[in-house]
Chain A
């Protein structure tokens, strides 16, 4: 028994098919979005970790003054706290393909035996393995940066050797390296013997160690590294530096986490918005059913039977939604996973989406509609039979509204629905504004460089150098010599200086940076806290990336090559893409006599070509003086590096904002259609007393435009502070500067109002075309 009531439900649903389709669409979009993000999070969370772990990343790298020989490696491996140990040598070199080309940065790793790598391993990808004499392997993502191919030759310049020609024998995949194109520098792998050919000492000074049992925190690693360093020193070794990168974490994990956080937040908002759309539509469907529910109760239907009928409908809606969304999410997730895998330079070992993701989708797909439908269903059931048989269904205007314009009075007849529709549009609109603002801010991070830096070329030497010697190079307008030394912040109570640098020498590094004598005219970092350095200052100002929780007034001990120098923090400045402690020349001298020169050069170049010419002239001048260069880069390259790091987040934000906007308009269209359907009889009365079709359309469209315009203004009012709030929480390379996307501020209201007109036009025209008789006969 039950066929009649289900038939009634089916018939009612057919009568409301437009709304059912809209609900189904909203639900499918939300579930597809949630499924995609959950699946991508699950797979990437697993695979990034697995891929990075498959390289057996070193927990700590100890750089020794002397070479790490077989006996030492064996002795270290034999220690109880050491799970495994290996040796390596990293050289910051430069590469170019032809004599006239500009140099590019190249990180060269030298290893002993490519067949027996045990820590920080990399895999053969293409070509010859291991590289023979006179050849090297490059990371698979390096070919794109170097614009070359396997089999070609390249010219390499190391700190101690002259430019040297070497063939690219093949590629390797090193899942521990961020994609080379993102860093705008290559990574190469050579044998120890080849180091000698490159002009470097054919010795490996870095001891790579993995501890056991598996360390659970960075502090644990540091403590064990300290024990090991003490033991090494007792054996007569000199430990230059101890590098402890983030615990078994990919160097770009923070960016990835940022992307996933953004996606998760947007997805939850999306789900909430779709829930609002469903609740609005369902309330409208049930609203039209009020009288029939009353009749059914009058002929003997119990509340439980009726609740069961509508709950079954909602569950069916959810199941269909899941059936549509699951394959979309499957395709979407695999697309996202593949994309991010490329962005993270990982190989997906197992791209399978865990079954709990589908279970979660199923659960959300049935429970969320049930939860949002609960209120309107229970409300509809609570209406007494007497009230439901008398229901008019169009809401009423309170006497106090008489002074308001008729459009507003009409809108206020259903204050609950007005609030939901406005909320929907304001949430979607403000997120679109915030997304556009954050995008603008993200892309402006590199623009921040230009306000802080007034030089257009940066050259880092391998040793000391006086930039004044280059002042006469044609095209040089101003030149400053800064000094840099890798350093560490010594933790109180610890004997060891630990830096958090990754094996590439870049990620996680910290340096003491000395301003040129007399201060800098070319760089002015914006002060975030405290003050900037004074000319006679002997204290320190920290870059934001180095400050992390430290504030002006606090003491800090900076360690360089075993020497500790106490400083007081006087300020924190916005430094983009690094972690430095800035000191005056006098302050620098307190910590060390060594350091490498960092030349900041302002040129007279007005174009890229002119800048390249000046850079080439500077390179020639340095070569003539036999001054080895670590890197020389135009400011534009730094901009590209930064932009390429934020591109992933920017893309994610744009895609999500677009989906939100779509759902917002879907909600508006639904609300307008519901309002029109409910007032069919009223429209009949309007026409009966002489309203033209055009007038009917204008009244309905006018109401939708009013909602759209009010929502757009509110969206702007909410979106701008929201932009600032998101900016403040996103700090991957730097806090994005607060930026208003003016384009979005103009396009959004136009888009919402245009969307409102389009959404209202269809139901308005349908209402206008109704005959008076048919409209008045509508119950």
Chain B
């Protein structure tokens, strides 16, 4: 089991009282699976992904990812753990604007110390070639199209060779052609043995997943084969 969620709830205090973004969710995901999480806005999709990445913590229940119970890690340990085990792809790319594309990809390696500087550069260059934007390596993010930026973000997510890639609406900000290219990239990752969890509205993406988890009001209402 790569990812296990047991009776997980995430409750936020709000001025109107406690709000359960996720309520009593249990889910297991195998290594090498591609999962699509779908649901209406506010159904708890992003919360689910955030709990898996350790960006957010469960209010109750257990989250075990890559063999680690996340509740046992302190904030600092969690960052290190995330850097090595989870690659994250955001809807708005979230590339750092003052670093070149190559440097953006090298940054996680720098923080996690997984490779020496020279090897980090080689690996980042390889990853950029793999996502098809090697020629953009020395440009700043602002000079790239949305699709190119998302490719760069995927390359960054793979920088430390994590077993899991989490993608929150990775195609939500892209046109259909570019979205298809990104989808193909994610499928390649699965083929290479990565566990991929994507939050999506895109039917295409859901169709290519091994399983589709449907959320409504913080609960899993359906788990279907993709």
Name A residues whose Cβ lies closer than 8 Å to a Cβ of B. Answer: 1-5, 7-8, 11-12, 14-15, 291-292, 295-305, 384-386, 389, 779
Contact = CB atoms under 8 A, between A and B. Distances in A.
Nearest to B76: A302
B98 A297 contact: no
A123 B37 CA distance: 95
A3 to B, nearest CB: 6
A384 B94 CA distance: 16
Given A298-B55, A299-B83, A304-B76, A4 B110 contact: yes
Nearest to A303: B76
B90 A300 contact: no
B103 interface: yes
Contact of A301 (B79, B94, B98): B79
21 contacts: A2-B110, A3-B117, A4-B99, A8-B103, A14-B98, A295-B96, A296-B96, A297-B82, A298-B53, A299-B83, A299-B111, A299-B159, A300-B83, A300-B160, A302-B76, A302-B111, A303-B76, A305-B111, A385-B55, A386-B56, A389-B90
Contacts of B120: 1, 4
Given A298-B55, A301-B111, A303-B79, A8 B94 contact: no
Interface of B: 50, 53, 55-56, 75-76, 79-80, 82-84, 88, 90, 94, 96-99, 103, 106-108, 110-113, 116-117, 120, 156, 159-160
Contacts of B55: 298, 384-386, 389
B94 A5 contact: no
Contacts of A385: 55-56
Contact of B99 (A1, A7, A14): A7
Contacts of A303: 75-76, 79
Which of B82, B116, B156 gathers most chain A CB within 10 Å? B82
A299 B99 contact: no
A384 B79 contact: no
Nearest to A381: B75
Contact of A300 (B75, B80, B99, B116): B80
Most buried by A among B55, B56, B111, B112: B111
The 4 lowest CB-CB distance pairs between A and B, nearest first, are A300-B83, A11-B98, A299-B108, A301-B111
B99 A11 contact: yes
Contact of A298 (B88, B103, B112, B113): B88
A14 B98 CA distance: 9
B94 A389 contact: yes
A295 B103 CA distance: 14
Looking at B53, B80, B98, which has the most chain A CB atoms within 10 Å of its CB? B98
Given A8-B99, A300-B160, A301-B83, A1 B56 contact: no
Contacts of A779: 97
Contact of B79 (A5, A7, A302, A389): A302
A384 B50 CA distance: 11
A296 B111 contact: yes
A285 to B, nearest CB: 13
A303 B159 CA distance: 20
> Quick one: which of A1, A295, A298 has the most chain B CB within 10 A?
A298
Contacts of B53: 298
A12 B113 CA distance: 22
A606 B43 CA distance: 94
A292 B110 contact: no
B88 to A, nearest CB: 5
A4 B106 contact: yes
A330 B124 CA distance: 50
A517 B82 CA distance: 98
A8 B111 contact: no
A305 B107 CA distance: 12
Nearest to A300: B83
A650 to B, nearest CB: 50
B23 to A, nearest CB: 18
Contacts of B83: 299-301
Contacts of B98: 8, 11-12, 14-15
Contact of B116 (A1, A4, A296, A301): A1
Chain B binding surface SS class: helix
A291 B97 CA distance: 11
Contacts of A5: 107, 110-111
Contacts of B117: 1, 3
Contact of A1 (B79, B94, B103, B113): B113
A298 B82 contact: yes
A304 B79 CA distance: 10
A299 B107 contact: yes
Given A1-B113, A296-B107, A299-B88, A8 B96 contact: yes
A1 to B, nearest CB: 5
Contacts of A302: 76, 79-80, 111
A289 to B, nearest CB: 10
Given A3-B117, A389-B90, A300 B111 contact: yes
A740 to B, nearest CB: 49
A304 B111 CA distance: 11
A657 to B, nearest CB: 41
A497 to B, nearest CB: 76
Nearest to A304: B76
Contacts of B103: 4, 7-8
Contacts of A386: 50, 55-56
Contacts of A14: 98
Contacts of A1: 110, 113, 116-117, 120
A320 B110 CA distance: 27
Contacts of A301: 79, 83, 111
A11 to B, nearest CB: 3
A635 B88 CA distance: 86
B218 to A, nearest CB: 16
A11 B116 CA distance: 22
A779 B97 CA distance: 10
A3 B90 CA distance: 25
Contacts of B97: 15, 779
Contact of B107 (A4, A304, A389): A4
Given A1-B113, A4-B99, A11-B98, A299 B156 contact: yes
Contacts of A384: 55-56
A14 B94 CA distance: 20
B120 to A, nearest CB: 8
Nearest to A305: B111
Contacts of A7: 99, 103
B165 to A, nearest CB: 12
A142 B94 CA distance: 77
Nearest to A399: B15
A7 B76 CA distance: 22
Given A1-B113, A8-B99, A389-B94, A297 B79 contact: yes
A397 B42 CA distance: 24
Given A298-B82, A299-B156, 15 more contacts: A1-B113, A1-B116, A1-B120, A8-B103, A11-B98, A15-B98, A295-B96, A297-B82, A299-B82, A300-B79, A300-B80, A301-B83, A302-B79, A386-B56, A389-B55
Nearest to A14: B98
B226 to A, nearest CB: 27
A427 B97 CA distance: 38
B50 A8 contact: no
Contacts of A300: 79-80, 82-84, 108, 111-112, 160
Nearest to A777: B142
Contacts of A11: 98-99
Of A7, A15, A302, A389, most buried by chain B (CB within 10 Å of CB) is A302
B115 to A, nearest CB: 8
A539 B97 CA distance: 85
A462 to B, nearest CB: 84
A7 B50 CA distance: 28
Contacts of A2: 110
Nearest to A5: B110
A297 B80 CA distance: 9
Contacts of A296: 96, 107, 111
A298 B55 CA distance: 7
